[in-house]
Amino acid sequence: MSKHQSRRLSLMGSAIFSEMAGWKEEVRRSGKEVIDLGIGSPDRPPSARVMQAMERAVRKPEVYGYPTSEGSPAFRETVARWYKHRFGVELNPENEIVTLMGSQDGLSHLAMAITDPGDIAMVPDPGYPIYAASLVLAGVEPYFLPLKESNGFLPKLEEIPEEIARKAKFILLNYPSNPLSAVAPRVFFEELVAFAKQYDLLVVHDLAYSEMAFDGFRPMSILEIEGAKEVAVEFHSLSKSFNMAGCRIAFMVGQPDAVQSLRVLKSNIDYGVFTAVQEAGIEAMEEDMERGESVAGLYERRRDIVIEGLAAAGWSIPKPKATMFIWARIPEGWTSRQISREILYQTGVVVIPGDAFGQEGEGYVRIALVQEEAKLREAVRRIAGFLQAQGGK
C-alpha cells in the first residue's frame, strides 16, 4: 500500500471491478469488438425537452453563482409534487427533501451524517458496492443481511439477532434491487416499518429503479406505508428514470431529522447541484407528470431479447420484474469470476461476476441491458456460441 493511501481505501469497493477493467482493455487490444453489458449507465440521452431546458438554463447569467446545498426551492417543490403524483406521498419541501449530486452522493455520505465511528448498520449482501463502502468511510461496522434466491432475495427480518437489531443505527435496502433485479411486496415494507419502530432504527431505502418495471408491475415507495416517515428515508435518482446519469441529480426524502443531518453535512462539503442541472431535473419531472411515459418499455423489450435468446441456448433465467439488469444464476461447474472472464475473452461480451457485489453473489452474474437491441442480439448470439462450445458446462 502506498504511503499516500489510507487503509480505508483498501477496504472500499471490489477489486473485481478494476481487474475486469484490465481484462476489457486486453480484449480490446487483441482486436475483438467488446460489447459492454457491465456498467449500469443508460445508453440514451434525456428527452429533447429536458435537453432544451438545460440549454436555456446554462444561458442564464444568474445560474453561475453558488447554489444552495439543500437544493433550490423550485426543485424541492417539484420533487414534492412528483412524489404526490407518482406515489401519493405528501412531502414538505422545507424539511423532508434534500437535493443530491446523484444518489451515490447521498448514499456515500449519509452514514457520516447519522452515525458515529463504532456504530453498526445493516446492509444487503449482495448489494450495490457504495452501501458497504459508505460504512468504511464513516467507521461504521457492517452487519450483512444475506439475500437468498430461496426467499425472493428479501432479508429474513426475524433472523436478525436481537442484539444487532437493538444496536444498529439503520438498515439499508434497495427494491427494485441492483444487482438482484428483485422486487418487494407491500407486506414486506409494512413488516420493515414495524421492525424499525420496534428497534428504534432508521430505514434507508434506495428507490433508484422505480420507473423501470415490467409486466404491469408498479414499484411502491416505502413512504406509502402509514407511519413510515417517522422511521424511513428514501433515495431517488433522475439518472435511470430520465436518462440523466451524467447530470448528477437526485434527492433523499423522508424522516426530517435524517434529512436535516444530511443537509448539514453537505453544507460543509459542497455547494450543491448546478442550478442549470436542477432546472433540467424540474423539466424531467414536469414532463413525466404531464405525459406519463417511462423508460420501462425500452428495458422490457431488451430484457425479453436477452432472456429468450439465452433460454434458446440452454441458459434458463427467470424474467425480472424491474431494473436495467438481469441477475443470472450461472451454469454448474463455474465460479462467477471464471465464467465472466471466459465469456469476455472468448466472446468480447462483458458481464459482472456476482461476487463483486458481496459474498452471497457467488454463483451469479449481472447483465446490464445498456445496449441497443441489435447489439444485445449479437451479445446473445456470441454467448450462445460460447455455451455450445463448452458443451453445456
Q: What tens digit of pLDDT does each residue of 143-186 get?
A: 999 999 999 999 999 999 999 999 999 999 999 999 999 999 99
User: What's the CA gap between 209 and 239, in Å, rounded?
Assistant: 9
Which residue from 206, 173, 214 is spatially nearest to 191, judged by alpha carbons? 173
**Residues counted in the chain:** 393
Q: What tens digit of pLDDT does each residue of 29-63 get?
A: 999 999 999 988 999 999 999 999 999 999 999 99
Cα separation values, 221 from 253, 262, 391, Å: 11, 20, 45
* Region 187-199 average pLDDT: 98
The percent of residues above 90 in pLDDT, for the chain, comes to 90
Q: What tens digit of pLDDT does each residue of 194-229 get?
A: 999 999 999 999 999 999 999 999 999 999 999 999
Q: 3-class SS at 202?
A: strand
Position 393 pLDDT exceeds 60 = no
* Region 288-293 average pLDDT: 89
Could you tell me the pTM of the whole model? 0.95
What is the pLDDT, as a whole number, of residue 294? 85
Report which of residues 392 and 364 the model is more confident about. Answer: 364
How many Cβ atoms are within 10 Å of 154's Cβ, its own excluded?
21
User: What's the CA gap between 199 and 392, in Å, rounded?
Assistant: 49
User: What's the CA gap between 358 and 362, in Å, rounded?
Assistant: 8
Q: What tens digit of pLDDT does each residue of 126-152 get?
A: 999 999 999 999 999 999 999 999 999
User: What's the CA gap between 125 and 386, in Å, rounded?
Assistant: 29
Q: What is the mean pLDDT of the chain?
A: 95
* Region 294-321 average pLDDT: 96
User: What's the CA gap between 303 and 321, in Å, rounded?
Assistant: 10
Contacts of 204 (CB under 8 A, 6+ apart): 110, 170, 171, 172, 173, 232, 233, 234, 235
* Region 318-331 average pLDDT: 97
Q: 3-class SS at 242?
A: coil
User: What's the CA gap between 250 and 234, in Å, rounded?
Assistant: 11
Contacts of 131 (CB under 8 A, 6+ apart): 107, 123, 124, 172, 174
Q: What tens digit of pLDDT does each residue of 341-382 get?
A: 999 999 999 999 999 999 999 999 999 999 999 999 999 999
* Region 230-254 average pLDDT: 97
Report whether 137 contacts 108 (CB < 8 A).
Answer: yes
Cell 463504532 sits on residue = 118
Domains of the chain: 7-45+295-389 (3.90.1150.10), 53-291 (3.40.640.10)
What is the pLDDT, as a whole number, of residue 392? 47
Cα separation values, 89 from 96, 196, 240, Å: 12, 19, 21
Q: What tens digit of pLDDT does each residue of 64-91 get?
A: 999 988 999 999 999 999 999 999 999 9
- β-strands 232-237, 250-254 pairing: antiparallel
Q: 3-class SS at 393?
A: coil
Position 242 pLDDT exceeds 80 = yes
Position 334 pLDDT exceeds 90 = yes
What is the pLDDT, as a whole number, of residue 13? 66
Position 14 pLDDT exceeds 70 = no
